[in-house]
Amino acid sequence: MCPQTVGLVQGALETAGITTTGATGVAEVSEKVGVPRALDIPWRLGYTLGEPNNAELQREVLVQALALTDRDDIPVLVAFEFSGTS
Amino acid sequence: MTRIADMELKLKDFMQDYPWRELGEIETAKRTKPLAECRVALVSSAGMVAPGQAPYDSKVMGGDWSWRTIPRNIDVQSLTEHHRSDSWDHTGIEADRNMGMPIDRLHELVAAGVIGEVATRHISVMGSITATGRFIRKTVPEIVEALAADEVDVALMVPV
């Protein structure tokens, strides 16, 4: 349910003029709800940020989600990409 | 990613039959300044509360639609998680609260020059809401009002 719940917030924020992005653990739900931007993360539900106490990986998730705000081709749903360090 | 087809039977049936709310055609908000100048807030659905705040109520039919604000300078590890669902793995957040509310990571992204500023407060909801009417009518407008008042440029969703 979580991707729907944050998706509903996301839609209202966009309409109010606040740019949104985020992660999703169930891309099918985010697509169905129709969120404008989401990073499709590869880990199990509950592990949205990757791994506990792995600050580098957690930052990488946020950086890749934030990078989606550069995109104009809404809706944007892209998979997390592992870099050399993550 | 987790595919609905791979979920355990009861959850899969629910997810396949549930009438998902669709945003439809909406006006989207294009970012108007560089990310390095943006004020960023988190919207987490992990059901996290700060010390002294009421926990989310797992007995509310259709899901507790209330919300909390989490201040920017809180000790993230002092947060507690009150999400009612057993369809996700809670061990990550138990080990490190940044898995649900990564405020420490945002501060590091400011220090690294990736984003401009961490918003003064972040939004917590409990994402297991099957009856969305009250959430849409009451909670969502309040969250929008709060983040607009805080002049947030980018809101980053963290579902679990």
pLDDT, one tens digit for every residue, chain B (160 residues): 789 998 988 889 988 888 889 898 899 999 999 999 999 999 999 999 999 999 999 999 999 999 999 999 999 999 999 999 988 999 999 999 999 999 999 999 999 999 999 999 999 999 888 999 999 999 999 999 999 999 999 999 999 9
CA distance B52 to chain A (A): 24
Chain centroid to CA B46:
6
| Nearest residue in A to B41, CA atom | A20
Model ipTM value: 0.95
Domain ranges of chain A: 2-79
* A49 with B92: Cβ contact below 8 A: yes
Q: Which pLDDT score, from 0 to 100, does residue B2 have?
A: 87
Please report residues of B whose CB lies closer than 8 A to that of A3. 159
* Per-window interface: B 69-108 vs A, CB < 8 A: 85, 87-93, 95-96, 98-100, 102, 104-106, 108
pLDDT attached to residue A84 = 64
Q: Is residue A37's pLDDT more than 70?
A: yes
pLDDT at A86: 59
pLDDT for res A83: 83
- Element containing residue B145 per DSSP (H, E): helix B140-149
Each residue of A22-32: b (16+ CB within 10 Å) or e? bbbbbbbbbbb
Q: Which of A14-18, A75-79, B14-18, B79-83 has the lowest mean pLDDT?
A: B14-18
Alpha-helical regions (H) of chain A: 2-15, 27-33, 55-67
Shortest distance between the Cα of A79 and any Cα of chain B, in A, equals: 8
The verdict on a CB contact (< 8 Å) between A59 and B108 is yes
